Structure 1
Amino acid sequence: MSEAERPDRRAQGTAVSIDDIRELTGAATPHFAQQVRNRVAKLIAPLPADSTARRFGEAEIVRLTELARSGEVRGTAAQDGMPGMPSTAIPR
């Protein structure tokens, strides 16, 4: 995944919407969370501090940062006699 953004989304005078941010972040996986986070940061950088899209983007940046650090939780508890899968998270 590239950190490049669609040119039309970054064009002068184009309003950034919450849907634009959701389009970027909706299907983010731990593997790509940092790249997506950087794309969102570049997208919202020119927005004013009181922008709804900027506040949403900042919240998504926090979520993506945590996703990149902790991985995702999936599956069920280990079956009898089977050890659980180790965490992908870096011990803190």
Structure 2
Amino acid sequence: MSEYENPERLGREPTVEDIRELMGASTPHFALQIRNRIRTLIADLPPDHPARVEGEREVQRLEQIAFEGEHRGPAIEGERELPSIRRPGQG
């Protein structure tokens, strides 16, 4: 069972901790799936709710890494950068 399906989360208001559990170690490969889960979790919360604020911030970050890749630093001499890395200004 994923954290998203956690039965303890049913029937109660989402918390910032719930958002952080979903965020986990998010990677470009799963960023859009996690983004959708967070959007669903916060959809009914008021705009100023702490979990919604955290969730919306995380949705932006997830969209960025989904489309731009993770930035893990420059390539080490003799090695090439990971294909997921696209530096600003590169097509």
The TM-score with structure 2 as length reference comes to 0.77
Cα RMSD after superposing both structures = 2.4
Within the candidate set 33, 36, 39, 1:35 is matched to 33
| Aligned length, in residue pairs | 85
In structure 2, the partner of 1:19 is 17
The TM-score with structure 1 as length reference comes to 0.76
Q: Structure 1 segments of 4 or more deviating over 4 A?
A: none
User: Highest Rg: 1 or 2?
Assistant: 1
CA distance in 2, matches of 1:86, 1:19: 31
Give the letter aligned to residue 38 of structure 1: N
CA distance in 1, matches of 2:54, 2:69: 21
Percent of aligned positions that are identical: 44
Task: Indicate conservation of the 8 Å contact 2:38/2:59, yes or no.
Answer: yes
Specify every segment of 5 or more residues in structure 1 that has no aligned partner in the other structure, as ranges.
none
Give the letter aligned to residue 43 of structure 2: A
In structure 2, the partner of 1:6 is 5
